[in-house]
Structure 1
């Protein structure tokens, strides 16, 4: 049995004790960054509520297509570069014969070598996507 008293049992005065209320929930948010400003902007995926003009809807569709094309291009490039990296390691037998801290060099290259490639592709994609959106904003603000 536990040493703690039953919270429903009456106390010395004869009234049942109630468990303490849990603390109120508190929402924790990140400190103010550029993310708040980005969310305050109007979304580019749907037209404004007052009705979009024909050129604006064409611009939005064009932006969506260019972002999709950009994403597919970078994903295919990453897949190709990763495949070539793995093939270079597999087809080079000296990597299997060389050991670093008891682990074959080929395993270390596979474990660590793909990350710089992924980070580079991610940074390049992010910059290209931001350029696409900046061009879109320049077109819509020019009207």
Structure 2
């Protein structure tokens, strides 16, 4: 092992050095609060934005449910008018209208609701991105 010469110092590796950025004298520009922050902090503005999404989803649900119920009622009404007309041998038309056709109508109503709800949520997300 060699000794330390003149002017050489032994470095103590156990000490930590803190490196910081130079202080700036420029004033920071305050950012306008974003809508996503307003929603997250549950402020009055955020509550209004969130309520608008909930109202849109409720309106969509009521519209789809009403359309489905109207379709089922129309099928029932047609089945009452059709009476006992046979559609297939041994299978009355009334059974087909009331017993089988509501299921595809329910699937179509579910698809319509899913697409509408997704569209509402995308609009909400775009609103938060535009102002965030």
**TM-score range relative to shorter protein:** 0.5 to 0.7
Aligned residues: 94
Aligned partners of 2:130, 2:87: CA distance in 1, in Å? 61
Residues 111-137 of structure 1 deviation map (CA, whole Å, 9 limit, x = unaligned): 211111111111011101110000000
- The equivalent residue for 1:80 is 70
Residue segments in structure 2 that go unaligned for 5+ positions in a row: 1-35
**Greater relative contact order: 1 or 2 (C-alpha under 8 angstroms, separation 6 or more)?**
2
- The equivalent residue for 1:133 is 121
Which of the residues 93, 97, 108 maps onto 1:109? 97
Aligned partners of 1:79, 1:72: CA distance in 2, in Å? 10
Residue segments in structure 1 that go unaligned for 5+ positions in a row: 1-43
> What RMSD in Å do the two structures reach over aligned CA positions?
2.0
Aligned partners of 1:99, 1:77: CA distance in 2, in Å? 26
- Given the two structures, how large is their TM-score scaled by the length of structure 1? 0.59
SS in 2 for 1:91: helix
Which of the residues 59, 69, 85 maps onto 1:69? 59
Structure exhibiting the larger radius of gyration computed from Cα positions: 2
Aligned partners of 1:60, 1:99: CA distance in 2, in Å? 51
SS in 1 for 2:53: helix
Residues 70-116 of structure 1 deviation map (CA, whole Å, 9 limit, x = unaligned): 111111111111101110111123xx131535222211232211111
- The equivalent residue for 1:123 is 111
User: Shift of residue 59 of structure 1?
Assistant: 1.2
